[in-house]
Chain A
Amino acid sequence: AQTVTQSQPEMSVQEAETVTLSCTYDTSESNYYLFWYKQPPSRQMILVIRQEAYKQQNATENRFSVNFQKAAKSFSLKISDSQLGDTAMYFCAFMNPRAQKLVFGQGTRLTINP
């Protein structure tokens, strides 16, 4: 079974700093998808960024980028120029397209301080 691990339960940085959230996963599949979701205090789940495993190029979305290391089974999220609105719980997630099951990590609570 696939597992996703986020080893940082909480993180805190100052506004405008860069922060990296860690995520590792375990799978024997060669084709899969990885996601980062954001959950602000409103509880709404919002997709931040996604990566296809067969693409070597790291995905980027404005201030958000990932460092995808397939051999190491690592998928970290980098937030540049952090903003107060980035304060949220962040979840890493893994999707095996054959099983159609989305597996989430435990989450990292990120606080951006003014």
Chain B
Amino acid sequence: EAQVTQNPRYLITVTGKKLTVTCSQNMNHEYMSWYRQDPGLGLRQIYYSMNVEVTDKGDVPEGYKVSRKEKRNFPLILESPSPNQTSLYFCASSLAGGYNEQFFGPGTRLTVL
């Protein structure tokens, strides 16, 4: 089944404790992206990647890191999480080109205490 998977689905952590949210897709998509969803703000792009070893900042990259060492994986790293990073996070992937549908993962609910 074609899908984007994220782990964990739920995470409660404390300020400053490094964490990684994994994202994997099995559709051989070139493009992958991370978004955060907050009430009243919609989804905002954190980082995106056009292909292996090619990443770029989205609109809200502060406090996050990403890497794209393999085509299928695009982990999101929070090296020192803070309470303002409490949010719902989505990973998405698509074929290259802006018109292609982005397929979203199920979301990761992160709470930073």
Binding site for B on A (CB under 8 A): 4, 6, 9, 32-33, 43-45, 47, 50, 52, 91, 93, 95-97, 100-107
17 new A-B pairs (CB below 8 Å) besides A91-B42, A105-B42?
A4-B42, A33-B99, A43-B88, A43-B107, A44-B104, A44-B107, A47-B101, A47-B102, A91-B43, A93-B43, A96-B98, A97-B97, A100-B31, A104-B42, A104-B44, A106-B41, A106-B42
* B92 interface contact, C-beta 8 A: yes
Query: Please, which residues of chain B bring their CB within 8 A of the CB of A32?
Result: 98
Query: Please, which residues of chain A bring their CB within 8 A of the CB of B107?
Result: 43-44
Given contacts A43-B107, A95-B98, A96-B98, contact A102 B33 (CB under 8 A): yes
What class of interface size applies to chain B in its complex with A?
A: 20 to 34
Q: In the assembled complex, how far is the CB of residue A49 from the closest CB belonging to chain B, in whole angstroms? A: 11
How far is it, in angstroms, between the C-alpha of A9 and the C-alpha of B39 when the chains are bound?
A: 10
How far is it, in angstroms, between the C-alpha of A4 and the C-alpha of B45 when the chains are bound?
A: 13
How far is it, in angstroms, between the C-alpha of A93 and the C-alpha of B98 when the chains are bound?
A: 12
How far is it, in angstroms, between the C-alpha of A45 and the C-alpha of B107 when the chains are bound?
A: 9
Query: Please, which residues of chain B bring their CB within 8 A of the CB of A105?
Result: 42
Q: In the assembled complex, how far is the CB of residue A53 from the closest CB belonging to chain B, in whole angstroms? A: 10
* B74 interface contact, C-beta 8 A: no
Of B42, B45, B88, B104, the contact of A101 (CB 8 Å cutoff): B45
How far is it, in angstroms, between the C-alpha of A103 and the C-alpha of B58 when the chains are bound?
A: 10
Given contacts A52-B99, A100-B48, A101-B59, contact A45 B104 (CB under 8 A): yes
Q: In the assembled complex, how far is the CB of residue B81 from the closest CB belonging to chain A, in whole angstroms? A: 21
Query: Please, which residues of chain A bring their CB within 8 A of the CB of B92?
Result: 45
